[in-house]
């Protein structure tokens, strides 16, 4: 009897210790990474980061949890990343939350995600507003449930004058659809005689994209080992640097983000030009 009690006590102590260690190490990581790490150059940070939050389902399955738990944890990761962008002076974050292709998932998962978006918006809006987040949604919002759309519109309206950090969420978003509808809008203006074909420039087309008014992303981060764009911001990411990591999205914490920014700062962004003046001799030699 006594032996059993002591074994139970010992197990409880070990569990408590391991929780304590985990808590202390998480608290230390957050504390040390609250300000910009000293090995990052504040002048060389991306102004705008786009994220493809991949691997929620696989992370959950690996933990013996239902896939939806992965999305719930993924939402926490996104929240912390947004706060980190604000803390570290990064101007804008765009997250791919639901693509036009994601409707092909089991309807229980789609329903869960839609409810999650709406619930998070209701729950987090006041805090995001207090923290100066400007929220914007991109995608075909007409395809979403009315109550979700209402929350989205409310949050965009309420935060429109904030300027601490810009937070764009792509929901029911597909880049080809976005570009096609921009072309259609421009063509309609030509048909009405408001424009001539000569007046169609890149700048004009951009004015008809969902992202008008936002800068182009400088860095794309995709988690879970997948290395593709999946119909995300194809126009806007023409010159974005790509960072792929094997880490699943729910595990993508501030130290992972730090690694992505270090990798970004080691890239040589030439935008099609050359990094140093080239002499005539070097061109032909
Ligand atoms: C991809 O992982 C993730 C999604 C399709 C959903 C992402 C949504 C969130 C993290 C919630 C964000 C909340 C707001 C309010 C924006 P996956 O399911 O494809 O994972 P898998 O590849 O392992 O199956």
pTM of the model: 0.86
pLDDT tops 50 at residue 4? no
Residue 17 has pLDDT above 70, yes or no: no
> From the CB of 54, is ligand 1 less than 6 Å away?
yes
Beta bridge partners of 134: 166
pLDDT of residue 95: 98
Contact 247 CB / ligand 1 (< 6 Å): no
Say how far residue 27 (Cα) sits from the centre of its chain. Answer: 24
CA 171 to ligand 1: nearest atom: 16
At 31, phi and psi to the nearest 5? -60, -45
pLDDT band (50, 70, 90) for residue 6 = low
Q: Which residue is closest in CA terms to ligand 1's atom 22? A: 55
Each residue's pLDDT tens digit, 147-192: 999 999 999 999 999 999 999 999 999 999 999 999 999 999 999 9
pLDDT at 24 over 60: no
Provide the total of helices (H) and of strands (E) in the chain, helices listed first. Answer: 9, 6
User: What CATH fold (topology level) applies to the domain 45-173+219-264?
Assistant: Undecaprenyl pyrophosphate synthetase (3.40.1180)
pLDDT tens-digit map of 61-115: 999 999 999 999 999 999 999 999 999 999 999 999 999 999 999 999 999 999 9
- The pLDDT value given to residue 177: 97
For residue 54, indicate whether it is catalytic: yes
Mean pLDDT of the chain: 90
Please report which confidence band the pLDDT of residue 29 belongs to, taking 50, 70 and 90 as the band edges.
Answer: very low
- Structural tokens at position 177: 């659809």
State the pLDDT confidence band at 280, using cuts at 50, 70 and 90.
Answer: low
**Closest ligand 1 atom number to CA of residue 102:** 5
Residue 134 CA to residue 159 CA, distance in Å, equals 5
Torsional sign, CA 112, 117, 123, 128: positive
Q: What percent of the chain has pLDDT over 90?
A: 81
Q: Is the CB of 57 under 6 A from ligand 1?
A: yes
Ligand 1 mean position to 217 CA, how many Å? 20
| Residue 241 CA, ligand 1 centroid: distance in Å | 22
Q: Residue with the nearest Cα to atom 7 of ligand 1?
A: 97
Distance CA 218, CA 269 (A): 10
**What pLDDT sits at residue 274?**
72
Predicted confidence (pLDDT) at residue 193 exceeds the cutoff of 60: yes
> Where in the chain are the domains?
45-173+219-264
Which residue did the predictor score with more confidence, 281 or 211?
211
**Nearest-CA neighbor of 244 among 223, 261, 271, 258?**
223
Q: Which of 47, 80, 87, 102 is catalytic?
A: 102
Tell which atom from ligand 1 comes closest to the C-alpha of 60: 23
Counting residues of the chain whose pLDDT is more than 70, the rounded percentage is 85
């Amino acid at each position: 009897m006594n032996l059993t009690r002591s074994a139970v006590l010992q197990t409880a102590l070990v569990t408590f210790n391991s929780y304590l260690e985990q808590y202390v190490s998480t608290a230390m990581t957050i504390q040390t990474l609250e300000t910009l790490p000293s090995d990052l150059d504040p002048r060389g940070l991306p102004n705008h980061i786009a994220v493809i939050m991949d691997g929620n389902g696989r992370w959950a399955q690996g933990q013996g949890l239902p896939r939806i738990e992965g999305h719930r944890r993924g939402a926490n990761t996104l929240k912390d990343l947004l706060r980190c962008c604000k803390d570290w002076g990064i101007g804008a974050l765009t997250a791919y939350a639901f693509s036009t292709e994601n409707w092909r998932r089991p309807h229980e998962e789609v329903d869960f995600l839609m409810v999650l978006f709406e619930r998070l918006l209701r729950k987090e809006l006041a805090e995001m507003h207090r923290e100066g987040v400007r929220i914007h949604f991109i995608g075909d919002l007409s395809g979403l449930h009315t109550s979700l759309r209402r929350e989205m519109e409310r949050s965009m309206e309420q935060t429109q004058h904030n300027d601490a950090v810009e937070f764009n969420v792509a929901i029911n978003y597909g880049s080809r659809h976005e570009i096609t509808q921009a072309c259609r809008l421009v063509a309609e203006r030509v048909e009405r005689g408001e424009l001539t074909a000569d007046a169609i420039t890149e700048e004009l087309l951009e004015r008809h994209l969902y992202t008008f008014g936002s800068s182009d992303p400088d860095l794309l981060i995709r988690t879970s080992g997948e290395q593709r764009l999946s119909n995300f911001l194809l126009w806007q990411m023409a010159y974005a640097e790509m960072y792929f990591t094997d880490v699943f999205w729910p595990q993508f914490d501030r130290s992972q983000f730090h690694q992505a920014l270090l990798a970004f700062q080691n890239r040589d962004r030439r935008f099609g030009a050359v990094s140093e003046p080239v002499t005539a001799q070097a061109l032909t030699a």
